[in-house]
Amino acid sequence: MEDTTIALIMTLFISILLGLIGLVAFLWGLKSGQFDDEKRFTHGALFDSEEELNAARDQEEKLKNAAKSAQEKVEKR
């Protein structure tokens, strides 16, 4: 084989490997919920200060906890 053919095969192999690593990282991010926080990113510009943003985050967590406890009560029945 020529040197250019070996270099082409190695380049192709490395690019496929990097693509698979990127795909695995993306799928892991989807599975672990990395992209589930669209409200804070889309509405983040509406908050003037860091305190207001933290208060909005706390309120969202309270709503999630309330929904979770309501779901647990329903499941106990």
Q: Residue ranges of the domains in the chain?
A: 1-34, 37-77
The predicted pLDDT at position 52 comes to: 78
Amino acid at 61: E
The predicted pLDDT at position 74 comes to: 82
Assign 68 a pLDDT band (cuts: 50, 70, 90). Answer: confident
**How far is it, in rounded angstroms, from Cα 4 to Cα 60?**
57
| 3-state DSSP assignment of residue 45 | helix
- Alpha-helix residue ranges (DSSP H) falling in the chain: 3-31, 38-43, 50-76
Q: What is the pLDDT of residues 5-53, one digit of tens each?
A: 999 999 999 999 999 999 999 999 988 888 777 666 666 666 567 787 7
Of 52, 64, 56, the closest CA to residue 40 belongs to 56
> Is the pLDDT score of 77 beyond 90?
no
